[in-house]
Amino acid sequence: MASKTNVATILSDEQFKMLAGSATISVANFYADWAEQCKDMNEVFDELSNKFPKLQFLKVEAEEYPDTSEDMEIAAVPTFLVIKQAEAYKPADVAAPAANFSEMTPEQLQARLKALINSNKVMVFLKGTPQEPRCGFSRQVVDLLTEQRTTYGSFNILADETVRAALKEYSNWPTYPQRNDCIGDFQKLAPPEDDINTRLKELINQSPVMLFMKGNPDGPRCGFSRQIVQLLRDQNVKFGYFDILEDDEVRQTLKEFSNWPTYPQLYANGELLGGLDIVKEMIASGDFASCLPPQ
C-alpha cells in the first residue's frame, strides 16, 4: 500500500517539532503497540487521514519519544491531539457542537473539522466525553487536562457514526445497538459563563429520548432511577442519559426549568414526559410508544 503523503510516522522529537510547527493544523496519534485499545484508534486515525487529505497526520509511538509525549502532556494512550500552529492563545468561546458527519460532503466535512479544530487550541478525541469518559484512559486524559486547567474541546469518536462505521468492532460496542440502548452523551464543554438555560436546552435535546437520572444506566444510584432504566430497556427504547449527581448546577436548575422537583426525569423530543410513575402508567395504558420518537 502506497504511503499517504499526509501521514508521517515520527522518528525523532525534532521531526515532531518541525512537522507540527510547519503545518497549520496537525492531528497527532500518540499510541503504543502493546496497548490493545490503540488498535481501534489507529483505525480511526487512518480513516480520518483518508477523509482529510489536506491535514497533516502524525503517528507518534508515545514511549519511544518521551520528551515529545511530555511536552504534549500525554498521560495515557491512545491520545489524539489536534495541534494548531501556535498563535495568540484564545480561550474557547463555546466548544463545537456535535456534528453530523455522515450527512456532509467532503468539503463540508473538512470545513466542519476545521471549525471544530479552530474553536480550541487543544482538541482531544476521546472515547466518550469529558463528562462521561468511556474508558479508563480517556478518563485519565480528561483528569490531567482539567488539573492543568487547560481549556480544550473534545470530540466523542463513539458518537460519530461515519467514523465508527469504519470500525467493525464498534458495532458490537455495548452502547450501540443490540439490546443496549444508551446513546453516548455529547457533552459540550461549556465554560462557566455559558448561559445555564441554553445549556439545559441543549442537554434536553441531546437525544430524542433523554433521561436525567441519579447515576448511570449500568450503575443507577437510586431505586426510582433503576426502575425507569429497566422499563426503558424492557420497551427497547433508545435513550441518552445525564447523571445529575455529577453536576450540581444542572441538578438544581433543571428542577426549576422542568417544573419538576425530583429525579428521574424523562424527556422526549425536548419535552418533559415526567418521572417513573408516569412512565409506568403510560406503559400500562399503552400510551407510551406514541409519546416517543420513532425508534
For residues 134, 138, 140, 142, the Cα torsion angle rounded to the nearest 10 degrees is -100
Q: According to the binding rule CB under 8 A, does residue 231 interact with another protein?
A: no
C-alpha cell at 112: 466542519
Q: According to the binding rule CB under 8 A, does residue 278 interact with another protein?
A: yes
Q: How far is the CB of 185 from another protein (least distance, A)?
A: 23
Q: How far is the CB of 256 from another protein (least distance, A)?
A: 11
Query: Exposed/middle/buried for 47, CB within 10 Å: 0-12, 13-18, 19+?
Result: middle
Q: According to the binding rule CB under 8 A, does residue 274 interact with another protein?
A: yes
Return the residue of 122, 189, 282, 292 that touches another protein, per CB under 8 A.
Answer: 282
Neighbours of 191 (CB within 10 A): 12
Q: Is 286 left (phi over 0), alpha (psi -120 to 50) or beta?
A: left
Q: How far is the CB of 269 from another protein (least distance, A)?
A: 13
Q: How far is the CB of 220 from another protein (least distance, A)?
A: 11
Q: How far is the CB of 282 from another protein (least distance, A)?
A: 7
Q: According to the binding rule CB under 8 A, does residue 223 interact with another protein?
A: yes
Return the residue of 17, 51, 112, 221 that touches another protein, per CB under 8 A.
Answer: 221
φ/ψ of residue 62, rounded to 5 = -50, -45
User: For 69-99, b where at least 16 C-beta lie within 10 A, e where not — what string?
Assistant: beebebbbbbbbbbbbeeeeeeebebbbebb
Return the residue of 219, 261, 286, 294 that touches another protein, per CB under 8 A.
Answer: 261
Q: According to the binding rule CB under 8 A, does residue 268 interact with another protein?
A: no
- Output 5 or 259, the one with its CB closest to another protein: 259
Q: How far is the CB of 20 from another protein (least distance, A)?
A: 47
How, if at all, do strands 79-84 and 122-126 pair? antiparallel
- Output 94 or 231, the one with its CB closest to another protein: 231
Return the residue of 97, 281, 293, 295 that touches another protein, per CB under 8 A.
Answer: 281
- Output 1 or 284, the one with its CB closest to another protein: 284
- Output 71 or 277, the one with its CB closest to another protein: 277
* Amino acid sitting at position 62: A
Q: According to the binding rule CB under 8 A, does residue 257 interact with another protein?
A: no
- Which parts of the chain are beta strand (E)? 7-9, 25-31, 56-61, 79-84, 122-126, 153-156, 209-213, 215-216, 219-220, 240-243, 265-268, 271-274
Q: Could you tell me if 151 and 191 are in contact, meaning their C-beta atoms sit under 8 angstroms apart? A: yes
- Looking at the DSSP assignment, which residues form a beta bridge with residue 215? 220
Return the residue of 94, 135, 196, 222 that touches another protein, per CB under 8 A.
Answer: 222
C-alpha cell at 125: 478525541
Q: According to the binding rule CB under 8 A, does residue 259 interact with another protein?
A: yes
Q: According to the binding rule CB under 8 A, does residue 158 interact with another protein?
A: no
- Output 103 or 277, the one with its CB closest to another protein: 277
Q: According to the binding rule CB under 8 A, does residue 200 interact with another protein?
A: no
Q: Could you tell me if 170 and 57 are in contact, meaning their C-beta atoms sit under 8 angstroms apart? A: no
Binding site for another protein (CB under 8 A): 214, 221-224, 259-262, 272-278, 281-282
